[in-house]
Chains A and B, each alone.
With several copies, the nearest count.
Chain A
Amino acid sequence: MATQKTFEQSMKLLEQIVEQLESSELPLEKALKKFEEGIKLSKYCSEKLDEIEKKVTILLQDQDGNYIETPFMSEND
């Protein structure tokens, strides 16, 4: 998906939304939209973190359990 933003972009967006909501008196409907967007971004970022944390956990389990053959393969591919 082309619009799949990175975590950092999402965080930046979330920050902007927080600032917008904080600073300017947005019309209610717009504020709702922004809020909705913010919640979605927050969720998205949170999930992304979960995902990454899970990945980290798996990596660490692998470390203790399984054997990894070629550490540089991934880099060269």
Chain B
Amino acid sequence: MQKKIYTVSQLTKDIKQLLEDSFPIIWISGEISNFSMPASGHYYFTLKDSQAQISSVMFRGQNQHLKFTPEHGMGVTGLGRISVYEPRGTYQIIFEYLEPKGIGSLQIAFEQLKKRLSDEGLFDDAYKKTMPCLPGKITVITSPSGAVIHDIINISKRRFANAHIEIIPVKVQGKGAEKEIVSGIKLLNTRADSDVAILARGGGSLEDLQAFNSEDVARAVFASRIPIISAIGHETDYTISDFVADLRSPTPSAAVELVLPVKTDVKQTIAEYYKKLILLITGQIESHRICIKNMTNQLTDPKKRIDHLRFKSDDFYQRLSRIFFKTLEQSRERHMWRTNELKLKNPGMQIKNYNNEIKRYNEILVNSLKSLMYTKKSGLCVLNGKLNVLSPTAILDRGYSITRTVPDSIIVKDAKNVSSGQDLEILVSKGLINCQVKGNPQNGNPKDL
């Protein structure tokens, strides 16, 4: 036969399996020593009796539910399982539950049921139904007599005056209570017209609360489609129903507070929302209005520019007119000046000069002719004088006369030259005598005379 050689790990693994399979969960009692609770919140202690001791631990998740705090030297009974810690080769008991030594079987049964249901998942949060925030109808499963229902009704009235409360009357203790509670819950679900139910009972001993620790009730609560609040006993009392219920209330009156809002509070909340809505929308409108107004005010720009441009345009216009009229005025002046110049250069002077010249010429003409005439006249005068002096008739003045034939005007110097009857004229100093020869003229010497 061949020798089997274990490795340490293999052996430890086998021991672990052996131990943990053989003692899955056990009740054990002993005395606590070396109790300690580090920051982690887990309990570490040694459980011992006169001959032996075992390392023990109770983790925080479990020790929270303990209704007492363990201490050195305390005798306890607990529910736990053996666990081997391979790296160190040690074993210990991990406690799920502990109670002071001397507790009855009822308690043990409670714990066992709780454990079972818990393992089934009946307590899981995933199954917990949410509470309505405004239940239209609340069903109270409880005893119709007694203080509990009255407290519930009174508190309901205070919180929500027009609440609808329905009572399913059940026995809450004693024989048949379990059944009644279960059928009440079933009735609740059959009618299915409530929004929430309160399973309620006043405080009492563990025995008094026995119906609520029953598996049937727990399963009925779990099965309910309508959310159930458990409100059983006092604040310190825990029942199985409390764990299964969708919500646990420490007292029946507190259950009402959990399920029923204060009407005025809700009204106020709605009113606040309403006010806020109005405030927000009007605020937005108002801020938009201000924004539009500001922007619109900023828009009134072109008028200023128009005024400015008008100034500019008017200035151009005035400058234009001014310059042009200046140009026109200058042209007029230029024209006037030229015209005056022209007028000054008119032929008047020339005409005047010519006139003077003509006048002078006229004078010369007249004077020249005058002097010529004068010369001629005086020449004639001289000749006339001379002629008069030399006149042959001058001697006639001394008495001489001249006899001439007529018409031949031959001077008669010889009487022979005349014949009787012949016409003669005799020139005397003054005048002319016509006469006729009378007789035969005699020859003779004038000296004869």
Chain A contacts for B145, CB-based, 8 A: 75
Contacting pair A21 B348 (CB below 8 A): no
CB distance from A20 to the nearest CB of B (A): 9
Binary contact readout B112-129 vs A (1 if CB under 8 angstroms, 0 otherwise):
000000000000000000
Chain B contacts for A69, CB-based, 8 A: 166
CB distance from A13 to the nearest CB of B (A): 10
Main secondary structure of the interface of A (DSSP, over half): helix
Segment at the A interface, from B26-34, B90-98, B331-339, B438-446: B331-339
CB distance from B117 to the nearest CB of A (A): 27
- For residues 1 through 48 of chain A, which have their beta carbon under 8 Å from a beta carbon of chain B? 1, 3-4, 7-8, 11, 14-15, 17-18, 21-22, 25-26, 28-29, 31-32, 35, 38-39, 42, 45-46, 48
- For residues 387 through 420 of chain B, which have their beta carbon under 8 Å from a beta carbon of chain A? 387, 390-393, 402, 410-411
| Closest A residue by C-beta to B195 | A4
Contacting pair A18 B267 (CB below 8 A): no
Contacting pair B153 A56 (CB below 8 A): yes
Name, among A14, A63, A68, A76, the residue most crowded by chain B CB atoms within 10 Å (CB to CB): A14
Q: What's the Cα separation between A60 and B368 when bound, in Å?
A: 14
- Cβ of B234 under 8 Å from chain A: no
Chain B contacts for A29, CB-based, 8 A: 410-411
Contact of B320 among A7, A39, A52 (CB under 8 A): A39
Contacting pair B323 A21 (CB below 8 A): yes
Q: What's the Cα separation between A22 and B166 when bound, in Å?
A: 41
Contact of A45 with B270 at beta-carbon distance under 8 Å, contacts A56-B302, A72-B144 already known: yes
Contacting pair B132 A8 (CB below 8 A): yes
Contact of B387 among A38, A55, A59 (CB under 8 A): A38
Contact of B187 among A14, A22, A52, A67 (CB under 8 A): A67
Contact of B277 among A26, A35, A54 (CB under 8 A): A35
Q: What's the Cα separation between A21 and B379 when bound, in Å?
A: 17
- Cβ of B280 under 8 Å from chain A: yes
Contacting pair A4 B134 (CB below 8 A): yes
Chain B contacts for A8, CB-based, 8 A: 132-134
- Cβ of B303 under 8 Å from chain A: yes
Q: What's the Cα separation between A45 and B296 when bound, in Å?
A: 11
Chain A contacts for B277, CB-based, 8 A: 17-18, 21, 35, 38-39, 42
| Closest A residue by C-beta to B192 | A1
- For residues 201 through 245 of chain B, which have their beta carbon under 8 Å from a beta carbon of chain A? none
Nearest 8 CB-CB pairs, A to B?
A: A54-B162, A21-B390, A21-B345, A21-B368, A35-B324, A31-B392, A58-B167, A21-B280
B residues bordering A, Cβ < 8 Å? 132-137, 144-145, 149-150, 153-154, 160-169, 187, 191-195, 263, 266-267, 269-271, 273-274, 276-278, 280-282, 284-285, 288-289, 291-292, 295-296, 298-303, 305-306, 309-310, 312-314, 316-317, 319-321, 323-325, 327-328, 331-332, 334-335, 338-339, 341-343, 345-352, 354-355, 357-358, 361-362, 364-370, 372-373, 375-377, 379-380, 383-384, 386-387, 390-393, 402, 410-411
